[in-house]
Amino acid sequence: MTLSSAPGKVYLFGEHAVVYGEPAVPCAIERRARVGVTRRDDGKLRVQADDLSLDGFTVEYGGQTGTRPDVDVSENLIAAAMGYVDGAIEQVRDVTGEADAGFDVTIESDIPLGAGLGSSAAVVVAAIDAATRELGVTLEPDELAERAFQTEYEVQDGQASRADTFCSATGGAVRVEGDDCRSIEAPDLPIVVGFDGGAGDTGELVAGVRSLREEYGFAADTVETIGDLVRTGEDVLADGDLEELGRLMDVNHGLLSALGVSSRSLDAMVWAARNAGAYGAKLTGAGGGGCIVALDPTDETETALSYTPGCEDAFRAELAEEGVKRLE
C-alpha cells in the first residue's frame, strides 16, 4: 500500500471573492485526510471510507470512472465520497498513461466534510499523490495541485478555485489570485476553529453570491472590497500584527454576511469568540454552516465556543508547514 496525507485549511481572507479573480489567503492546518492505495489487476475500484464524518462504508465497482456504484446510501454521500475519488483516479490514469489501472482506496479523515476546512481538496490531493506513486510516478507539488484543482473544477461544475488544492498540496500560508498561486510568509498563528456540525451547500451559496452580484452594483462592490481587504491583510500578515489581522477578519466576516453566506450558528460562534477576547473571528469556506476561524493565543475562545449553543466542536489548529506527506 502507498499512503499519503494532505492537510485541510482555513481562510484568513477572501473566500467567495476569489471566484471572481480577487485574491485570497488560506492557511493549511494540521487536520489531515489520509489515503492509502493498492493497485489491483482487474481494473476495478474499491473504496473504503472509514471516517469522513459520516458512517463508514465500502463499495466496489467496475473499471471506468464516471459511473455510479449500486449501493444503498444517500446521493449526497455518493457525491461527496465517490465523485472526488473518481476524478482523482481519472487524473492518475491520465498522468501515468495506465488507463486500465484499478485500485483499492482507503480514506480516513479528521476534517469534517463540507465544513469549510477543505476536506475534498485534502482527499483529492492525497489520493492523486498516493495512486501515482503506487504506479511509480511522483508528481511535483505544483503539478499535484493543478491536477487536484482540475478534479475539483469538474466535480464542482466549474465553481472551484485553486486556493484549496494549492494550499493542501504545498502547506503553509498561500496567496491565490486567479491562476497565480504562491506561498507567503506567516507567523505562528493562534488558530481556533469552531464547528457547528453542519455543512453549507457550496454550489448553492456560490450561485447565490453570483446572482446578488449580477443584480446589485453594491454587491459587486462588496466583492471588490473583499479583494482590497485581502491586499491589506497580506501586509499585516507579513508584519505579524495579530491584533490588526483580527480586526480585518472581523470586517471580512461582515462583508460575507452582507453577501448572505453566513448563518445564525456561524454568527453566534463568531460573536462568542470576539466576546471571549479573540483578536478576530470570521466564517471560513463557503458558509451557510460549518466552521469559523478565530485568532486567540489563550484558552478563552476555545472554552467560550464549547459552551456556545450550536457549536458541536471547538479545537486549536496548528499551521501545517508541510503540505502533502508521503507516509509509505
Q: Mind listing the pLDDT tens digit for each residue in 5-47?
A: 999 999 999 999 998 999 999 999 999 999 999 999 888 888 8
Radius of gyration of the chain (CA): 19
* Dihedral angle over CA of 224, 227, 231, 234, nearest 10: 160
Return the top range by mean pLDDT from 74-78, 149-153, 289-293.
289-293
Confidence of residue 66 (pLDDT cuts 50, 70, 90): low
What is the spatial distance between Cα 295 and Cα 301, in angstroms, rounded to a whole number? 8
**Mean pLDDT (the chain, rounded):** 88
Q: Where in the chain is the domain with CATH 3.30.70.890?
A: 191-317
Look at residue 56 in the predicted model and tell me its pLDDT: 40
Confidence of residue 317 (pLDDT cuts 50, 70, 90): very high
Write the DSSP string, 281-326. Answer: EEE-SS-SSSEEEEE-SSSHHHHHHHTSTT--EEEEE-B-S--SEE
Look at residue 193 in the predicted model and tell me its pLDDT: 97
Which residues, at least 6 apart from 216, have a Cβ–Cβ distance to it below 8 Å?
none
Assigned CATH for 191-317? 3.30.70.890
Q: Could you report the per-residue pLDDT of 189-245, keeping only the tens digit for each? A: 999 999 998 888 888 898 999 999 999 999 999 999 999 999 999 999 999 999 999
What is the spatial distance between Cα 113 and Cα 123, in angstroms, rounded to a whole number? 10
Calculate ∠ Cα 161-165-171, nearest 5°. Answer: 130
Average pLDDT over residues 54-71: 46
Look at residue 50 in the predicted model and tell me its pLDDT: 65
Q: Could you say which DSSP state residue 218 is in?
A: H
The string over 9-23, giving b where at least 16 C-beta atoms fall within 10 Å of a residue's C-beta and e elsewhere, is: bbbbbbbbbbbbebb
Look at residue 26 in the predicted model and tell me its pLDDT: 95
Average pLDDT over residues 288-297: 95
Cell numbers at 45, concatenated: 475500484
Confidence of residue 53 (pLDDT cuts 50, 70, 90): very low
Q: Where in the chain is the domain with CATH 3.30.230.10?
A: 2-185
Look at residue 231 in the predicted model and tell me its pLDDT: 96
Look at residue 181 in the predicted model and tell me its pLDDT: 92
> One of 129, 164, 196, 296 is an active-site residue; which one?
164
Identify whether 100 is a catalytic site residue: no
Look at residue 51 in the predicted model and tell me its pLDDT: 58
Average pLDDT over residues 171-182: 93
Look at residue 323 in the predicted model and tell me its pLDDT: 95
Average pLDDT over residues 52-63: 44
Average pLDDT over residues 281-286: 94
On whether the CB atoms of residues 224 and 22 are closer than 8 A, the answer is yes
Assigned CATH for 2-185? 3.30.230.10
Q: What percent of the chain has pLDDT over 90?
A: 71
Q: Judge whether residue 268 has pLDDT over 50.
A: yes
